[in-house]
Every structure is written in structure tokens, then in C-alpha cells.
Chains A and B, each alone.
Chain A
């Protein structure tokens, strides 16, 4: 028999891109169409598979069941978030912990180094990081969208600083009662949400239900919150630094008289519990499996150990990191031990235990007990969620507050928040105009901005964000396991075209997963006219006739350079 019989012919590359449907967010599916069109011009076949946001996060972040996806990262306050997003040793963990399965010793070393240097040296470390990782392309950052927020100013003002992107944005609002109103109760802030998930699940650790976690951030307080540019004591009264420059230690003193929403006192035990819990939700660190919380993961990797000194004091030993980075660990939301110690067991489905998943990660936490400035009052699944002001909160306590927290003394000024699900941005604008909402919790789609701006009742404030849309690649399987293959796809994305046609210019295009330009070296910054000028730019036509269209010959060249072959009909082939 001839040896040719046992040889499989190569087949055309076939890829599937997962995205959320238009109803949830229009940008990803439009970016996906752009990428799919150009990939098809380059010789692959592409399917776009819409799936709900919750399911998408489950497929991508938990089950790694995808080839490519286009989604929005929840955002970051410091480039240290890349430590878990791209660190090799997080490739097996759930959450925004290296869902790509990317591994690079060089990148890992740089991610460790950026924690123990600062200033110019840290910027240089990230410059090196860009040179390594952007060419490897585990993800291709596309753009940081602006958030045009539509608000009414008849009852609430001071919407902008900080904005509703942060829990503090809800605290800083100025409230002024006007004449009584049929649709909005006195003292209640009406917020439109385009996401049903918070009405069903308020678990701060459930990664597929949380984006930025702003809603749960109103219920749960951390030791410290970012106020202005720095992390200021919040539940903590103060912290004192010790240890060495690159291995700090902090003694954290809690405020006196803090209570949970159920009246129990908050003690140092709760704090220590939370920090151990996020590192291993089974609370048995010496026994496998170790199941870390998929949220707060970057922060929890900063903490080496935590010890209770007395009822109001803990000692935190950090791993190798500068103080300015270590203090990010204070942003972990503290939860009550007496509630969450019940959730440390392995979860089960129909009587079968599910390994590596604790109750803590799947519990709906329907009536959360936190310590935040708002407490849970009521919810209707898939429709609405009501919070009321927590009058026992330390912000309302007698005596003066010092430090950054002082500007929030006696906040919020109003009595509660009503979150209402709205099915589309167009309806949100209608409801704002009709006086049924005070604001939207999210940025409205660019195509609704003109209508919102025209309405005299509504003001639109545009705000840049730190949360990027990106193409994510599952590097675990061929052909996407090949960095050159991914790199070739990354170069099929025309950010200028996406900026204009998808975002209608309400976005900042970028190649980098870091928002702050301080850490993005010159040669990796995006510029409108950088077509063909550097290693990451779009391989497309630089004309206005077919904007966003890839130059098929140059695209094929990229794949050929990566070692791939083409059929006579210009089909991109791969050996199956």
C-alpha cells in the first residue's frame, strides 16, 4: 500500500468568535464582524457566535471553552492587574486570570519585576513588557471606549467627580428635593441598568456576574478605597508601614464601633477571614484543592500572610512589592465571617460534588450582609434592585473624619437607590426624558448620544475609561497556540476604522492593555496615521474607499511568514 493513503489533506482554517449579542452591547459584535471580514479576506472561515454576557464569561473565564472572543475587560487602576491577567501560573485559574492560557517566562519575570521597582524603572519594565507580549499577542487590545453618561440634573447634581464608574460616585452626589414627582419617590436615586445580573446575584466573588462590581461595591466596604489618586483608609482607621522597601508589612487599625448590616460587630477576625478566604475559599490552605476567589485575585497575590493582633488590629505581611503596589490589596471587599464560613464547602449538583468549586463561588448571595454605605432592601429577579442608606455607617457617625474619607462625611445625602433594568439605550434615554430615571449606570451607545444631547432635561457627560475592548485568543489549541498566527490576526484589526464606525469616535484606540500612557512606550502608542508604520499597525488599504479592508496579499504574507500554506483558491490551510 502506498504511504499516501494514510495522509490527511490540510483543511481550511475555521475560527469561531464569541461575543455578546447586540442587545447587551453593540460594540463587540461589530468589532467581531470587522475581524471576521478581514480574516475571511485572508483566507479563513469565521463564525460569530453570540452568547449572553454571563455565559460568555463562563465560557471564557471559567471553562476556557472558546477560540476567540471579543469583550470588554472590567478595567484597572494600575498596570499591576496584568500580573494575573497574563501571568503563566494563572493559566489554570478561573476569572480574569490569564484566560488565554498564555505562558512566557520573559513576561513573567517582567511582571514580577514591575512590583519591586518604581518611577522610570517601572516604566522601562513595562516598555520591555510591551515588546515581549504585544508581539506574542495573547490578546489584541482594540480601544478604550468613552462612557457618555446620560443624567438628569433636576434632583441630583455633581455627577462627574468621581463618576458612577466607582462606588464613590454614588456617594458624592448632591441631592436637592424639587416638587413631588409621580414617578420618582422622594430621596431615591433611580438608576437604569442594562444588565439583569445584579438583580439575581450579589455575590462579590462570582466572576461571571460582576463586571466592575460597582453595585456590590456599595454593599461591601474595603479597608481602603482609592480617593483621588491614592488609596485612603476606609474601614481601616489607619495603617502603618513596616518591613523592608520591597517586602512591606502593614499594621492596620480598624475604626471603632463598626457593624455589619445585620448588627454584628466588625472585628479583625472578619478582616483576616476575608483575606484568607479570597486566597482559598475552602479555608483549608494545607489541603487540596485550593480554590481562590476569581475576583480580587491580583490583590490577593500581594498578601503573604495576615495575623490578628487584637479585635481592631491586623498585621499584613506582603509579598515582594513596593508599598504603592502592595496597598492595592486594601481594596479587597471585606465580608462577614459568620455568613461566609458557611460557604466554604464544595458545591454539588444533584447530589454530585463538583471538584474545585466552592459554594462561595456559586452562591447567589440573595440578601447580602455587608458593611457598606448602602444595604440591600429588595429585588425582583431580572427587573429591579433596591438599596437603602445604611445609617449605621461610619460616615454618619459622630466625630470628625480625617484624611481623604472626610469629603464623604454624612454621605450619601439621599435615602436609597432603585436600579431598574432597561431593555435598550434608546428606552433609557426615553425614561430619562420622561423623568422615570435620574441616570444610567453605564455609558450609553454612541448612536443614542445625539438624541440624549438634544433633550433639554438630560445632560451628557463623556468620560474616558480604563476598561478596554480586546480580542482574546485561546492559546491552548492550534492554530491559535502559535504566537505568529495570533500576531497575524492582531494585524488585521483596523483600529482607526473601528474608532470611526463602531465607536463613532467615542473611544481611544490602543494597542496596549495599559490605559495610562505613562507605561506605554512611544512605539506602541496608537496614532491615527500609523498605518503600516510599525510592528502592530493594520495591514490594510490606506485609502478612504474601502475603510477597514485588509490588503489580502499583505495579510497572506503574514500568515505565510508564520509558516502557513494557502490553497490554489487562497484558502488558509492548516493540518488537522
Chain B
């Protein structure tokens, strides 16, 4: 299967990037500390990881059904978007070169996955674990709110309107197996590539003192991912702007609710259990 091949390549490349970034950004002592405290740390983060996993699984199970539902109740806004922003994306593609296409395709597929996975590891390695919890909740918020938007708004990207070239699919056609397996082509408003990257960039700013190198790396890769969504003709500028807004909201949600969520899922059930035991 072509898809399996693409996924194996993805896993291999991203793993290599993770190893390099770990060596570059996280110091040895921190890693040893993490190894010693791995169990309690993982237990602490389990509720938020669980929430993120639930959102992702729900997303993958309902994606196509949600799309069909969306055709029933949603607003088709492709024409409106195009009328507002016009030929910005094709204009951008006017600067395309072969090297840039290779770079941005790589960033869109591999750089993006790396950008999302690495901070999970890096924040697990911090003695202060709150950031990790905030980040996972923020991820879940991105996906959850993003999905809601996808049900309400139906929009095709510039490449599907055929006003922009689909540079990545022309250069690396197998990648469409992956993108069509994990997403639906009407899900472009807002850009989740943008919102998740911007989320990581905001967190990298918060942790710039702990991870100064990661801060620089995250800004460079994050900005490239955001730019690549337009350069490759996949998203409109408006999707990207909406993605940044979504990122901002998601970070706020992460910061506000990380503690509440952990309490709700760990302390509260324990209390209930105690109360139940008291009764009998």
C-alpha cells in the first residue's frame, strides 16, 4: 500500500528530527531527571493526554460523517472567501521555485508533525509540568473547535478552486494518500496546520528561558508551516488568519482549564469514591 509507505517515511523522518532536536535543545541532566520521574509525570499528564486522544479518535471516526452532515447544515463559504481575498495565494505562488516547493512540502508534511510532537517531549522533561498540561489541553481545544468550524463552514482551498497550483501533490503525489486519509478537502477554514503551529509558537515563547534554542527553532519551523499552507495552494489567507485566532483562543483555554481538568478527572472521582464509601 502506498499509504503505508508514506507513513513509514513520515515516522522515520520525524523520529530522526526528534532525536536531533532533543540533542540540540534538552540537556542531559534534564533527561536523566525525566527518566527517574517518568511514571509520576506520565500519570499526572494522563488526563489531558486522554482528552486529546479522545478528541483525535472522535475526529477520525466521525470525519466523513461530519462532512456529510456539514453539507446538510453548513454554509458554503468558498465563494465569499475568494471574493474577499482574491488572488493573494496565486500571487504568492508567482514566487515559487523548485527549491522552495521542496522545502515547503517537506515542512508541511514532516516539519509540522515534528513541530507538534517535540514540545510534548520537551515539556515532559521540564521539572515544572504545568506547561505540558496546558499544551495538551490547547491541542485538544484546537481540534475540538476546529472540527466545530468544519461542520459549520464548508470551504474548498485555492487549489481545489483551481486558481492555485497544487505544488506539493504535483511534486510528491503519494502525499495525497496521507492528506486524503487524515482530512477532508472541504476542511480548510480555519487552517489547523496554522492554529496548531501558532499554538506551539506561543508556548515556545512562554518557555523561551528554559528552551532558548527550541524557541528559535519553533518560530522558524512554525512560520514556515503557516506560510507553506498558502504557498502550496492548500489554504486561503483567511484560513490562516482564522487559524491564528483559533490558536490564541486555544492557548487561553489551555492556560485557564489545565488545572481544572486535572482536578475534575483525578481529584473529583477520588472524592466521589470516598463519599460513596462513607455512605455504606
Q: Which A residues fall within an 8 A CB radius of B?
A: 16, 21-23, 26, 29-30, 33, 47-52, 55, 381-382, 423-424, 426-427, 429-431, 434, 436
Contact = CB atoms under 8 A, between A and B. Distances in A.
B159 A22 contact: yes
Across the A-B interface, give the 4 residue pairs with the lowest CB-CB distance, nearest first.
A426-B173, A21-B160, A47-B79, A423-B180
7 contacts: A50-B78, A50-B156, A55-B71, A423-B176, A427-B2, A431-B2, A434-B2
Contacts of B186: 52
A429 B179 CA distance: 18
Given A16-B79, A21-B156, A431-B2, A426 B162 contact: no
Contacts of A26: 162
Interface in B47-64: 64
B174 A427 contact: yes
A123 B233 CA distance: 49
A257 to B, nearest CB: 41
B19 to A, nearest CB: 30
A20 to B, nearest CB: 9
Contacts of A51: 71, 76
B185 interface: yes
B161 A22 contact: yes
Contact of A29 (B79, B161, B180, B185): B161
The main secondary structure of chain A at its interface with chain B is: mixed
B28 interface: no
A381 B156 CA distance: 22
Nearest to B65: A381
A426 B2 contact: no
A431 B1 CA distance: 9
B169 interface: yes
Contacts of A23: 160, 185
A421 to B, nearest CB: 9
Interface in B145-171: 156, 159-163, 166, 169-170
B177 interface: yes
Contacts of B173: 424, 426-427, 429-430
A51 B77 CA distance: 11
A430 B64 CA distance: 26
A22 B162 contact: yes
B2 A21 contact: no
Contact of A424 (B78, B156, B169): B169
Contacts of A381: 64
A30 B162 CA distance: 7
Contacts of B176: 423-424, 426-427
A126 B177 CA distance: 47
A423 B1 CA distance: 13
Nearest to A447: B170
A477 to B, nearest CB: 18
Contacts of B78: 49-50
A33 B162 contact: yes
B64 A50 contact: no
Contacts of B79: 16, 47-49
Nearest to B159: A22
B45 to A, nearest CB: 34
Given A426-B170, A427-B174, A21 B76 contact: no
A49 B156 CA distance: 9
Contacts of B1: 436
A379 to B, nearest CB: 14
A423 B160 contact: no
Given A26-B162, A427-B2, A47 B185 contact: no
A521 to B, nearest CB: 35
B83 interface: yes
Nearest to B79: A47
A431 B177 CA distance: 11
Interface string B60-82: 00001000000100001011001
Contacts of A50: 78, 156, 160-161
A426 B180 CA distance: 14
B164 to A, nearest CB: 10
Contacts of A426: 169-170, 173, 176
Interface string B66-102: 0000010000101100110000000000000000000
A157 B76 CA distance: 45
A429 B166 CA distance: 17
A279 B180 CA distance: 40
Nearest to A429: B173
B247 to A, nearest CB: 27
B161 A430 contact: no
A52 B71 contact: yes
Residue among B162, B163, B166 having the largest count of chain A Cβ atoms under 10 Å = B162
B76 A430 contact: no
B162 A430 contact: no
A33 B87 CA distance: 13
Contacts of B156: 21, 50
Q: Which of B83, B166, B180 has the most CB of A within 10 A?
A: B180
B71 A47 contact: no
A90 to B, nearest CB: 26
B36 to A, nearest CB: 45
B76 A22 contact: no
B227 to A, nearest CB: 22
A214 to B, nearest CB: 23
Contacts of B170: 426
Contacts of A52: 71, 186
Contacts of B82: 47-48
A22 B179 CA distance: 15
Contacts of B169: 424, 426
Contact of A49 (B2, B64, B76): B76
A522 B156 CA distance: 42
Nearest to B171: A426
Contacts of B83: 47
A423 B177 contact: yes
Contacts of A16: 79
B173 to A, nearest CB: 4
By CB atoms of chain A within 10 A, which of B1, B173, B174, B186 has the most?
B173
A22 B176 CA distance: 13
Given A49-B79, A382-B64, A430 B160 contact: no
A26 B162 CA distance: 8
A424 B175 CA distance: 10
A449 B166 CA distance: 18
